[in-house]
């Protein structure tokens, strides 16, 4: 993975193991699990799964999620 940068045009996808891990990340004790980096990211969700995007959590249904940096504003 390249070092994250606000201006590199890449998106970062990271994962956590649960609420405790999320708290450890926020307090600086641990880092998130890096999953993907790029300008076009596709994620296939095969079952319901808790997700969080920009601080907004929800339970996502089985689906395909496509994120394009060109679509972000």
- pLDDT of 21-42, one tens digit each? 989 999 999 999 999 888 888 9
Assess if residue 1 is contained within a domain.
Answer: no
Residue 5 has pLDDT above 90, yes or no: no
Question: Does any domain span residue 4?
Answer: no
Q: Taking a C-beta distance cutoff of 8 angstroms, is the pair 21, 28 a contact?
A: no
The two three-digit tokens of residue 69, written as one number: 């940096």
Q: What pLDDT sits at residue 47?
A: 97
Residue 35 lies in a domain: yes
pLDDT tens figures, 37-73: 888 889 999 999 988 887 888 999 999 989 887 766 5
Residue 42, in any domain of the structure: yes
pLDDT at position 72, please?
61
Q: What is the extent of the structural domain holding 67?
A: 11-71
Long-range contacts of 1-8 (CB under 8 A, 24+ apart): 1/34, 1/37, 2/37, 4/37
Q: Which DSSP state fits 6?
A: T
What are 62's two structure tokens? 């089985």
Q: Indicate whether 5 belongs to any domain.
A: no
Our count of domains for the chain comes to: 1
Asked if residue 17 is part of any domain, the answer here is yes
Q: Tell me, yes or no, whether 3 lies in a domain.
A: no
pTM of the model: 0.66
Question: Residue 42: beta bridge partners?
Answer: 66
């Amino acid at each position: 993975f390249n070092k994250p940068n606000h201006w590199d045009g890449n998106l970062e996808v990271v994962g956590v193991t649960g609420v405790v891990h999320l708290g450890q990340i926020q307090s600086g004790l641990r880092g998130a699990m890096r999953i993907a980096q790029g300008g076009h990211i596709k994620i296939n969700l095969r079952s319901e799964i808790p997700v969080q995007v920009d601080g907004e959590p929800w339970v996502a249904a089985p689906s395909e999620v496509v994120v394009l940096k060109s679509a972000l504003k």
